[in-house]
Amino acid sequence: MIYGALEAGGTKMVCAIGDENGNIKEQVKFPTLTPEETMPQIFDYFKKNNVAALGIGCFGPIDLIKESPTYGSITSTPKQGWSGYNIVNAAKEALGVPVGFDTDVNGSLLGEMTWGCAKGLTDAIYLTIGTGIGGGVMSNGKLLHGMLHPELGHFPIGILPGDPGKSVCPYHDDCFEGLASGPSIKARWGKSADQLADNTEVWELESTYIAKALATYTVTLSPQKIILGGGVMHQEQLFPLIRKKFKEVINGYIKTKELEDLDNFIVPASLHDDQGILGALKLGIDAANE
């Protein structure tokens, strides 16, 4: 069977078709304009490929509560035209197939759980650090939803002494996303992350924020592995800095085999930036089998 996968982002929509073994047969992209402009192209693509089901990993916040009258909707996004859009109902009406639905970051984690470096684990975190900061959580073998879904980028982290910048989050003065996302780096230093690769001051500060956040996730969610993706994490010099500072923050309090091997505890995404689309594929496969 052929399944459809949609990684719905605020900038672009990545569409793919693949099989139950995670083999991506084809992948295309559409710019994220308004629903009226973007979604007909996407539905035409999946119709043409006669998919058996569709999985959607979506930017949010979104309504994941199946009993809710607005299940399947994008809720309070500032993305023009998308707030209140029910992407699940629209897909079901257009395609007439089962539709699986979750956050984009939970989708990326699901990709890693199924075909990547979190395979075989029961508890893991996937964090994307890029245009924003978001995270997916696997707890006891299941993706965590709760009353909505985790928003790992929006807890207060506190501005570090000497930080020349300020939060770029319109909601919070000192949240993780506001102080450590790609736009925060650019606002603070005047250049994007990829233009600052050789500036050690940038990465000393960035790694400190990330290490503090990962320590908070570790003591609250107790993961077996933390996977870091997103554009900022393409700066691979961050990983040894984060691990070193994470160890300092934990300060020997937690003693497990995982924390004795930080090179395999705090790791980069393992699926060549396809973790999101592969997770969406798995959402579609699971929806077909429900």
Average pLDDT over residues 92-111: 98
Average pLDDT over residues 152-168: 96
Q: Please, are residues 22 and 35 in contact by the beta-carbon 8 Å criterion?
A: no
What percent of the chain has pLDDT above 90?
Answer: 96
Task: Let me know if domain 3-103+273-289 sits in CATH 3.30.420.40.
Answer: yes
> In the chain, what are the domain boundaries?
3-103+273-289, 117-268
* Residue 201 burial (C-beta neighbours within 10 Å; 0-12, 13-18, 19+): exposed
Residue 105 has pLDDT above 80, yes or no: yes
pLDDT band at 290 (very low <50, low <70, confident <90, very high): confident
Query: What separation, in Å, do the N-terminal and C-terminal C-alpha atoms of the chain show?
Result: 15
DSSP secondary structure letters along 3-45: EEEEEE-SSEEEEEEE-TTS-EEEEEEEE---HHHHHHHHHHH
Query: Which helix (H) or strand (E) covers residue 289, if one does?
Result: helix 275-289
CA distance 61 to 152: 12
Which pLDDT belongs to residue 80? Answer: 86
- The strand pairing partners of 138, in sequence order, are 124, 143
| 148 or 282: which leads in pLDDT | 282
Q: Please, are residues 128 and 109 in contact by the beta-carbon 8 Å criterion?
A: no
Residue 10 has pLDDT above 90, yes or no: no
Which pLDDT belongs to residue 231? Answer: 95
Q: Report pLDDT digits (tens) over 203-214.
A: 999 999 999 999
pLDDT band at 251 (very low <50, low <70, confident <90, very high): very high
pTM for the full model? 0.95
Q: How many helices (H) and strands (E) does the chain have?
A: 8, 10
CATH topology of domain 117-268: Nucleotidyltransferase; domain 5 (3.30.420)
What percent of the chain has pLDDT above 70?
Answer: 100
